[in-house]
Structure 1
Amino acid sequence: TFANKLGKKLNREIIYLDKIYHRPGWQPTPRDEWRKIVRNLVSGERWIIDGHYDNTLDIRMPPADTIIFFNFNKFLCLYGVCKRALGYNQPFDQIEGNRRHLSWNLIKKIIIFPKKKMLGRLEQYRNAKKIFVVKNRKEVQELLLSIL
């Protein structure tokens, strides 16, 4: 993944929100506990966080110095998820003993993802942070190569 490559390049550990949020049986972490966990995660000096989790962007965006948003076409996202689910690409990983699988809920999240809202949030930080909006895999690779 991009996060793995970025972490290796910058010699930083990656914080995978999916691995922290999901409990056995795909049970979510309760909201207040989740927000407390995320506050603790971003209290460190240097970090790379992988994951969206809209309900904690208000905690993560202010202390971040760089924000990278993957603004991919919905159909490209769906294609990639289906390929992983069928084992043609990197396989879905295990999270807390839960095998990741293709679900209607995941498909729905991809289709209804509020891109305009996210782009508006990024605009708020345009002058204060490094913001990268990448639209395709080529731009992802170019960004990775441009990072020292």
Structure 2
Amino acid sequence: MKINVVGTSGSGKSTFARQLAARLNVPYIELDTLYWQPHWQGTPDARFFEKIAAALAACPDGWVLDGNYNRSRPVKWREVDTLVWLDYGFTRTLYQAVKRAIQRAVTQQELWPGTGNRESFRQSFFSRESIIWWTLKTWRSNRARYLADMANPAYSHIAFVHLRSPSQARAWLQSLTPGVGCSTLKE
């Protein structure tokens, strides 16, 4: 299976996508890791799209791709067969985004290996680049976008799995037969 897990920041995409990749025994690919460079600099789109294509091509048998980055759809949705949309309620998603921001600011964990990028309280709560602000700003528009995508004939090759709660997500995950993995995966 070639799966893209999407949802608003704070919805639990990364946690769910990692669990899904482990269940299917296929590579987990995080778009944020491919995009973010040191000092919170983004990768220019042409290079970003090349990195996505290379990561997806590394395992033609299947993968789980974590992230939205709507501008990358021509690359990431070219071969995707399943889109899992974590569409949790606004209050739950915002709570999770705030909880995660606090945890990351306290622990100062590096978010993507080799970047040195860490969240701070100032950045998380008092900045226009705040992940919390991003969650507030995009929750409604993401819902409208993915609802429209589900009805769009251009995406008829994609099976949409619309999960509205963590319990639905757990049940769907458990319903999947564990996979055999990717023979070309190199760790």
TM-score if structure 2 supplies the norm length?
0.69
Post-superposition CA distance 1:97-147 (Å, at most 9, x none): 211453553223222321212221232266433210111111111111111
Moved >4 Å (runs of 4+) = none
Name the CA distance, whole Å, in 2 between partners of 1:69 and 1:128: 16
1:120 maps to a residue whose letter is A
Kindly report the root-mean-square deviation, in angstroms, between the aligned alpha carbons of the 2 structures: 2.2
Name the CA distance, whole Å, in 2 between partners of 1:100 and 1:65: 34
Name the CA distance, whole Å, in 1 between partners of 2:150 and 2:51: 23
What does 1:65-144 align with in structure 2 at a 5 Å threshold? 65-87=81-103, 94-95=111-112, 96-101=115-120, 102-103=124-125, 104-105=128-129, 106-113=131-138, 114=141, 115-124=143-152, 127-144=156-173
Aligned length: 146
2:23 maps to a residue whose letter is K
- Which 5+ residue runs of structure 1 have no aligned equivalent? none
Q: Bigger shift: 5-14 or 107-116?
A: 107-116
Query: Residue 2 in 1 paired to residue 16 in 2?
Result: yes
Sequence identity (%): 23
* CA displacement at 1:93 relative to structure 2: 5.3
Q: Residue 87 of structure 1: SS of its match in structure 2?
A: helix
Change in CA separation of 1:100 and 1:19 when aligned onto 2, cut-off 3 Å: farther
* CA displacement at 1:47 relative to structure 2: 1.6
Aligned to 2:4: none
- Please identify the structure whose Cα radius of gyration is greater: 2
Post-superposition CA distance 1:34-60 (Å, at most 9, x none): 122223333341221011111112321
- Greater RCO structure (CA 8 Å; 6+ sep): 2
Post-superposition CA distance 1:36-94 (Å, at most 9, x none): 22233333412210111111123212310111011122221110011122239xx7652
Q: Bigger shift: 68-77 or 98-107?
A: 98-107
